Every structure is written in structure tokens, then in C-alpha cells.
């Protein structure tokens, strides 16, 4: 049986450590990079961009004539600088809702998710 | 001492005389007989079955159906003393005042009586169901130690309550036959005939009066009952069959000069797993998930559209119940995490439950029962149910669910997923309340209904109907306690009418 020298062990150990570090760093490095969009400020309101894009796909299936740039302008005006939670509950109080895959969502949140889906291409 | 008589021992050709004949010994017939106990009236109650299930008797209920999915006619009811209460669920809830109103958005709506006409009978009706004190909308006051209703804030849906017939080991819940047999036996001027099938209402030549009831047993005995008045209490399907099949004088059937008998059949569709309820803060109070006993009452909470919401959005009544736990798929997990985060709430201990519902449907004259050429063992024509469901009824219920979703979001306590959209999806989820209603609907106008406000069949002087077949619209309340209130009102009327 081939024996493993102390030097090899150290090397292997070191490389394992490198690999582990590479795992974490790799995730950062390999993280999906999105091309910048003119509505990144809105997408940033969603806590997980990939999750938002997943919901957004289902919202896009429900809404007609979704033009991202114009939508972003309208959404900024509707949010009007308020905290997102406040803007959403006010919106929902007025009955502004959208469905995505059956989920009843605050309309503005659904539309932000739709922007994330558009950005994800 | 009242008597229980085995009709198979009555010699053929016998004529039994009475002041009142009640056809059917289910909750309606039994309660009517008991309500008349302290009168001088000689009452005969004719019950098709015996004290327990019998397959040959049950098969007299066989029939066919076409159209939208529905339970088979023989499976959705039971034919022996106690009727379908031998397998009912015991859910009770009075109809709302709005259910009695004529509403522009609901075709054929409007009862000829109001809720107020029935109110004084609900305590006794509840007592007959052994359902304890009436709490219903006041139940939140006695359930505080169990939990709190969902803080839904303002909006279309609110927590309301069902109460239940008393559960006990041998009779789960009140089986009217088993429970009240001994009380019936104590009624001195009452004779209960078991195994006695009424096969025909014998009308006078002008069709305006029932002269006699033809009774047959499965072993071939035939006798007649002559009574001053008759009450049909054979259940929401069979009453229509008896009227339609008694067609030797009026060709369309007894009391059916205007072709209304058998039309407007209704039940409560129960679409299972029609939505997912997410509560960000964890589990709902236990009274949403199952029955809770407190203050001598058995209670369960549901979510109901308010009267205001029903009027404003022209939706039907519905009663939403919280059912078993469900798991979310990846999209569901993303939706919950994203929404909770955006609303600024913690959803780390969120709960996920399936929703069920009892739905009201729009009255439809073409959802109906008709006779076929097939005959049962006693020679009576069998029934065919023409079942139809309007897509709009599901769409309106979906609108109600969506409002619940809106309220959950606005109050930041949760969110909702709607599971069903297409007709096929609704149909695949359908279960039924087995609440047979509408086939002899109440109306002051003989052209629009079969019975009048006193439950008397239009055009037939001494014939009445007791049961949910007289409901012109259906609400989302379970029918039995409501039909019993009507029965008690009928008893008061008969006490005045019959000498
Ligand atoms: C599975 C199931 C669950 C239910 N759960 C609930 C619930 O939770 N809450 C609720 O409010 N309701 C419930 N219901 C409905 C409830 O059972 C009925 O509302 C109730 O039984 C109706 O009472 P009834 O006396 O009008 O008719 P029935 O109970 O149908 O009784 C009719 C009686 O007439 C007899 N009969 C029939 N034809 C003839 C004839 N030709 N001659 C002589 N006798 C005849 C039958 O044998 C029977 O005994 C349920 C029904 C089913 C099937």
C-alpha cells in the first residue's frame, strides 16, 4: 500500500483548507452577476434577488404590457420615498394586489419581483 | 302510550285514519311529531326504514345523475328512522338575515319570510340537535382562554362560529332516530309505522286535496292512510320524487301545475384544499383547526364574508375552514420569505394550512330532478339529477378568498395562495355537504315556488313540506338547525289550522 508522507499530508490538509475557503469564496465569486439595470434601486428592495425573480416570472404571466423602465418610474412614484413596508400596506389597503402562481401579493411587491425577473433575463 | 308499529304486520287493505300524517322519520319528521306531542291531534308517522340500515330499503333511494360531478343519490342520504342524521356531521349554524332577502345580484333570491320569523325557534331547534346554548357570533367572549381570533383588521372577512351537536360514544352526533325513539313512544296520540313506504299521494279529482296516502312494504303489504293533513318530511330529494310520481290526477305531479317541483336542486360544494393560509406568527388558535368544548358548547371558528362585503361585491355566502398542515414548494417558500421581509415581519415560525370551504351556489331552475322510466322495487319511478354548476359561483368564491389574502397582508399577519382557477381544478377538488335543498322552494307566487310561506303546497289544501327542500336560497349555513326552526314554526301553524 502506498504510504502518505507527512509532507503530503500537510499539503493535502492545506489544499483541503484552500478548497473549503474556495467553496465560500467561490460562491461569492461564482454568484450570478446581473447586468446593471436602470431599476436596480427597486430590485434591491427585495431581500433575495433570485427568489424575487422566481416570483416575478409568475407575476409576468399575469400582467399584460409590462414595460420595465416605465414600470420602474411608476413604482418609484408610488413608493414616494416611504419605507417599503408602509408603502405596501397602504397599497394593499386600497386593494392593489397581484397574483403570482396563485400567491396573493401586494401589487407593488409583485411588480418589483417582475422587474427582478426581467433583469434576470 | 305511543306505538311503534311494524308496517309489515298491517294487513293489506287496511285504512289508517289520523288528523295528521307525517311522511318520513328523519330530523324533520321526528321533530314535528314531538312538537305536536301535547296536542289532541292523532298523528301517524310513516317511516320507510326500520331502526337500522337495511340494504334493500336503502336501494329504494337509487337514482342516476348527469352533468357536473356529484355524489350518487343513494350514497348521500340514509333511509331508516333518523334519516341522514344517522351519518351527519353535527355542524350547526343559523342562516343570516341577509340570506332571506331578495338581492338584485342573486337571481331567484328572496324568501317569503324573514330571519325574524324563525328567530324564536332556534333555541328549541338547537336543543333538538343537542347543541347547547346558542353562542355563535358571541363565542369569542367564551373562547378567550383557548386562543384569540385572527387579527384580520377591517375588511370583508371575519371570524364566525359553528356549533356542534353533542358528541357521545354511541350516538355521534345526535342520531335523531336512536336519540328520540323513546320520546316518540311516550307521545300518546302518535303511531310510528316503521318499514312503511309512501308510494303515492292520492289526490281528489281536481288535484286540490290529498285524500289518502298509499303505503307499501317491501314484503308486499299495501295499505292506506287517510289524514286531514299530510306533511312530507322525506328529505330534500325524496319529497320532490313523491310529488312528481303522484301524477295520476295532475299529469305533471301533485302540486306541480307550474312545473316547479324538482327544479332548483342545490347543495353546498365543499372544494377541498382550495387555498393555502400562511400565518407569519405561527399556528392559528386551536378553535380554527378543530372542535373545542367550552361552557357546555362545542365550537369551531371559520372565516365568513361579512354582509357588507357580500352586498358590495355581490358574492355568495361561504364559510372557510382551516384544515391540515401543508408543505410549501420552492415558489411558496420564496413568496413567503420575500413578502414577510418586504412587510418587515419575521416569518421564521410561519405556519401553513390548507383551507376548505362550504360554498353557496346560485339558484338554477335547470339544476333539477326528473323522473325516469326506471322503477324501484315498489314500482316507483326513479329519479335523475341534472347537475350543473356555474363557473361564476367559483369565481365569486375566489374573489372572497382574495379579499382574505388582502386582509392578511394589510394586517401583516400572513398571506394566502389560491390553489384553484379552472373549472377542471375546482371539479377535481369537489366534495359536498350533502345538504339537499331547493326542490320544493318557498314562494308566495305559485309560479315561482312549490310551497307558500306556511310551507303548504300551492294549490293543494292539506299538503305541507318540512325540510330543506323549501329553502329558496341556501346561505353557507348547515341546513339542519334551520330546517328544524322551520319545522317548529310549521308545528305552531298546524296547531292553529287543524281542529
Ligand atoms: C354525510 C352527511 C353529512 C351531513 N352533515 C351535516 C351537518 O354537519 N350539518 C347539517 O346541518 N346537516 C348535515 N347533513 C344534512 C342532514 O343530514 C339533513 O339536513 C337532515 O338529515 C335532513 O333531515 P330530514 O328529516 O329533512 O330528511 P332525512 O334525514 O333525509 O330523512 C328523511 C326520512 O324520510 C324517510 N323516507 C324517505 N322516503 C320515504 C317514503 N317514500 N316513505 C316513508 N319514509 C320515507 C327516510 O327513510 C328518512 O328517514 C349531512 C348529510 C349527510 C348525508
Query: For A2-58, how does the pLDDT look when each residue is reduced to its tens digit (9 = 90+)?
Result: 443 433 333 333 333 334 433 444 444 555 667 899 999 999 999 899 999 999 999
Indicate whether A46 and A18 sit together in one domain.
no
Q: How far lies B349's CA from each of A73, B97, B309, B325, B340, in Å?
A: 36, 40, 31, 14, 11
Indicate whether A55 and A77 sit together in one domain.
yes
User: Beta B292-294 vs B430-432: how paired, if at all?
Assistant: unpaired
Minimal C-alpha gap between A14 and chain B (Å): 37
Whether B416 is in a domain gets the answer yes
Which pLDDT score, from 0 to 100, does residue A30 have? 54
Indicate whether A61 and A90 sit together in one domain.
yes
Indicate whether B273 and B180 sit together in one domain.
no
Inform me whether the pLDDT recorded for B168 exceeds 80: no
Which pLDDT score, from 0 to 100, does residue B169 have? 65
Which pLDDT score, from 0 to 100, does residue A1 have? 38
- Give the pLDDT band of residue B27 (cuts 50, 70, 90): very high
Q: Which domain holds residue A98?
A: 40-119
Q: How far apart are the first and last CA of chain A?
A: 54
Binding site membership of B436 for ligand 1 (Cβ less than 6 Å): no
Which residue's CA is minimally distant from atom 48 of ligand 1? B83
Residue-wise pLDDT tens digits, B282-308: 999 999 999 999 998 999 999 999 999
Indicate whether A51 and A109 sit together in one domain.
yes
Write out the three cell numbers for B386. Answer: 341534472
Which pLDDT score, from 0 to 100, does residue A74 have? 97
Indicate whether B331 and B420 sit together in one domain.
yes
Which pLDDT score, from 0 to 100, does residue A12 have? 36
All residues of chain B having their beta carbon less than 8 Å from the beta carbon of residue A110 are none
Residue-wise pLDDT tens digits, B415-473: 999 999 999 999 999 999 999 999 999 999 999 999 999 999 999 999 999 999 999 99
How many CB contacts within 8 angstroms connect chain A with chain B?
Answer: 87
Kindly indicate whether the ipTM for this predicted assembly is greater than 0.85, answering yes or no: yes
Domain count, chain A: 2
Domain count, chain B: 2
Q: What share of chain A is helix, strand, coil (3-state, %, to 5)?
A: 65, 5, 30
Identify the residue among A102, A106, A111, A120 best suited for mutation to test binding to B, counting B beta carbons within 10 A and taking the highest. Answer: A102
Residue B59 CA to residue B382 CA, distance in Å, equals 11
Binding site membership of B29 for ligand 1 (Cβ less than 6 Å): yes
Indicate whether A27 and A48 sit together in one domain.
no
Which pLDDT score, from 0 to 100, does residue B367 have? 98
Binding site membership of B31 for ligand 1 (Cβ less than 6 Å): no
* For range B373-393, the mean pLDDT: 98
**Closest alpha carbon within chain B to A113:** B338
Are A99 and B344 an interchain contact pair (Cβ–Cβ within 8 Å)? Answer: no
Q: Name the residue facing B338 among A52, A85, A104 (closest C-beta).
A: A52
Indicate whether B425 and B458 sit together in one domain.
no
Angle (deg, nearest 10), helices A107-119 and A68-79: 140
**What percent of chain B stands above pLDDT 90?**
97
Binding site membership of B126 for ligand 1 (Cβ less than 6 Å): no
Radius of gyration from C-alpha coordinates of chain A? 22
Whether B82 is in a domain gets the answer yes
Whether B394 is in a domain gets the answer yes
Indicate whether B44 and B85 sit together in one domain.
yes
Question: Could you give the angle at the alpha carbon of B219 between the alpha carbons of B216 and B222, nearest 5°?
Answer: 30
**What percent of chain B stands above pLDDT 70?**
99
Whether B156 is in a domain gets the answer yes
Which pLDDT score, from 0 to 100, does residue B354 have? 98
Indicate whether A54 and A113 sit together in one domain.
yes
B486 Cα–ligand 1 center, Å? 15
Inform me whether the pLDDT recorded for B2 exceeds 80: no
Which residue's CA is minimally distant from atom 13 of ligand 1? B88
Indicate whether B213 and B327 sit together in one domain.
no
Write out the three cell numbers for B198. Answer: 309512501
Indicate whether A94 and A114 sit together in one domain.
yes
Domain end (from B378, B403, B432): B432
Indicate whether B440 and B478 sit together in one domain.
yes
Choose one of B7, B72, B75, B234 to mutate for the ligand 1 pocket test, by most ligand atoms within 8 angstroms of C-beta. B234
Q: Which domain holds residue B424?
A: 137-164+269-359+390-432
Indicate whether A98 and A64 sit together in one domain.
yes
Indicate whether B116 and B93 sit together in one domain.
yes
Indicate whether A62 and A90 sit together in one domain.
yes
Identify the residue among B333, B342, B419 best suited for mutation to test binding to A, counting A beta carbons within 10 A and taking the highest. Answer: B342
Cis peptide before B173 (omega within 30 of 0): yes
Binding site membership of B467 for ligand 1 (Cβ less than 6 Å): yes
Indicate whether B218 and B344 sit together in one domain.
no
Residue B216 CA to residue B13 CA, distance in Å, equals 11
Pure H helices in B284-329: 286-289, 307-313
Inform me whether the pLDDT recorded for B262 exceeds 90: yes
Indicate whether B35 and B99 sit together in one domain.
yes
**Closest alpha carbon within chain B to A91:** B410
Residue-wise pLDDT tens digits, B174-211: 999 999 999 999 999 999 999 999 999 999 999 999 99
Indicate whether A22 and A46 sit together in one domain.
no
Indicate whether A48 and A89 sit together in one domain.
yes
Whether B169 is in a domain gets the answer no
Is residue A44 within 8 angstroms of chain B, CB to CB? no
Indicate whether B54 and B126 sit together in one domain.
yes
Which pLDDT score, from 0 to 100, does residue A34 have? 76
Q: How far lies A85's CA from each of A91, A99, B152, B214, B344, in Å?
A: 10, 18, 17, 72, 6
Indicate whether B309 and B394 sit together in one domain.
yes
Choose one of B8, B24, B268 to mutate for the ligand 1 pocket test, by most ligand atoms within 8 angstroms of C-beta. B24
Indicate whether B307 and B211 sit together in one domain.
no
Indicate whether A59 and A23 sit together in one domain.
no
Are B342 and A51 an interchain contact pair (Cβ–Cβ within 8 Å)? Answer: no
Residue B446 CA to residue B364 CA, distance in Å, equals 17
- Give the pLDDT band of residue B14 (cuts 50, 70, 90): very high
- Give the pLDDT band of residue B151 (cuts 50, 70, 90): very high
Is residue A56 within 8 angstroms of chain B, CB to CB? no
Amino acid at each position: 500500500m502506498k504510504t502518505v508522507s507527512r509532507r503530503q499530508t500537510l499539503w493535502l490538509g492545506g489544499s483541503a483548507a484552500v478548497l473549503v475557503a474556495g467553496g465560500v469564496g467561490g460562491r461569492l465569486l461564482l454568484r450570478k452577476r446581473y447586468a446593471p439595470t436602470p431599476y436596480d434601486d427597486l430590485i434591491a428592495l427585495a431581500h433575495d434577488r433570485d427568489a424575487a425573480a422566481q416570483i416575478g416570472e409568475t407575476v409576468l404571466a399575469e400582467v399584460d404590457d409590462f414595460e420595465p423602465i416605465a414600470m420602474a418610474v411608476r413604482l418609484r412614484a408610488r413608493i414616494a420615498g416611504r419605507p417599503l413596508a408602509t408603502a405596501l400596506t397602504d397599497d394593499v389597503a386600497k386593494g392593489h394586489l397581484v397574483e403570482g402562481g396563485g400567491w396573493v401579493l401586494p401589487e407593488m411587491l409583485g411588480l418589483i419581483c417582475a422587474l427582478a425577473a426581467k433583469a434576470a433575463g | 302510550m305511543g306505538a311503534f308499529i311494524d308496517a309489515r304486520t298491517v294487513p293489506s287493505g287496511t285504512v289508517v285514519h289520523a288528523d295528521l300524517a307525517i311522511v318520513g322519520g328523519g330530523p324533520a319528521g321526528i321533530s314535528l311529531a314531538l312538537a305536536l306531542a301535547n296536542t289532541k291531534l292523532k298523528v301517524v308517522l310513516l317511516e320507510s326504514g326500520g331502526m337500522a340500515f337495511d340494504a334493500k330499503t336503502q336501494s329504494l333511494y337509487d337514482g342516476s345523475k348527469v352533468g357536473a360531478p356529484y355524489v350518487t343519490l343513494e350514497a348521500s342520504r340514509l333511509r331508516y328512522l333518523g334519516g341522514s342524521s344517522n351519518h351527519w356531521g353535527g355542524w350547526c349554524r343559523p342562516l343570516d338575515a341577509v340570506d332571506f332577502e331578495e338581492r338584485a345580484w342573486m337571481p331567484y333570491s328572496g324568501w317569503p319570510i324573514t330571519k325574524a320569523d324563525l328567530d324564536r325557534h332556534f333555541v328549541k331547534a338547537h336543543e333538538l340537535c343537542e347543541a347547547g346554548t346558542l353562542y355563535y357570533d358571541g363565542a369569542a367572549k367564551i373562547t378567550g382562554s383557548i386562543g384569540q381570533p385572527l387579527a384580520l383588521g377591517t375588511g370583508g372577512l371575519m371570524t364566525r362560529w359553528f356549533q356542534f351537536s353533542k358528541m357521545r360514544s354511541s350516538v355521534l352526533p345526535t342520531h335523531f332516530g336512536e336519540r328520540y325513539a323513546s320520546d316518540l313512544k311516550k307521545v300518546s296520540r302518535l303511531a310510528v309505522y316503521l318499514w312503511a313506504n309512501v308510494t303515492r299521494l292520492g289526490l281528489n279529482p281536481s288535484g286540490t286535496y290529498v285524500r289518502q296516502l298509499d303505503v307499501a312494504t317491501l314484503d308486499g303489504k299495501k295499505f292506506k292512510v287517510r289524514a286531514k293533513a299530510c306533511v312530507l318530511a322525506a328529505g330534500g330529494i325524496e319529497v320532490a320524487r313523491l310529488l312528481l310520481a303522484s301524477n295520476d290526477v295532475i299529469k305533471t305531479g301533485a302540486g306541480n301545475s307550474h312545473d316547479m317541483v324538482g327544479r332548483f336542486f342545490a347543495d353546498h360544494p365543499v372544494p377541498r384544499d382550495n387555498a393555502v393560509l400562511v400565518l407569519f406568527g405561527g399556528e392559528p388558535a386551536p378553535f380554527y383547526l378543530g372542535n373545542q368544548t367550552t361552557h357546555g358548547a362545542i365550537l369551531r371558528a371559520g372565516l365568513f364574508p361579512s354582509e357588507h362585503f357580500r352586498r358590495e361585491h355581490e358574492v355568495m355566502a361561504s364559510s372557510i375552514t382551516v384544515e391540515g398542515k401543508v408543505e410549501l414548494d420552492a415558489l411558496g417558500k420564496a413568496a413567503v420569505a420575500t413578502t414577510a421581509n418586504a412587510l418587515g415581519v419575521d416569518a421564521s415560525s410561519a405556519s401553513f394550512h390548507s383551507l376548505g370551504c362550504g360554498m353557496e351556489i346560485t339558484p338554477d331552475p335547470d339544476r333539477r330532478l326528473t323522473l325516469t322510466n326506471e322503477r324501484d322495487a315498489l314500482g316507483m319511478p326513479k329519479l335523475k339529477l341534472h347537475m350543473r354548476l356555474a363557473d361564476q359561483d367559483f369565481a365569486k368564491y375566489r374573489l372572497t378568498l382574495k379579499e382574505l389574502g388582502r386582509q392578511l397582508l394589510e394586517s401583516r399577519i400572513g398571506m394566502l395562495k389560491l390553489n384553484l382557477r379552472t373549472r377542471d381544478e375546482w371539479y377535481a377538488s369537489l366534495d359536498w355537504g350533502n345538504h339537499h335543498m331547493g326542490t320544493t322552494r318557498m314562494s308566495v307566487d305559485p309560479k315561482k315556488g312549490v310551497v307558500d310561506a306556511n310551507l303548504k303546497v300551492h294549490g293543494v289544501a292539506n299538503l305541507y313540506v318540512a325540510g330543506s327542500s323549501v329553502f329558496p336560497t341556501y346561505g353557507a349555513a348547515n341546513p339542519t338547525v334551520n330546517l328544524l326552526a322551520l319545522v317548529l314554526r310549521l308545528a305552531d301553524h298546524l296547531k292553529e289550522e287543524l281542529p
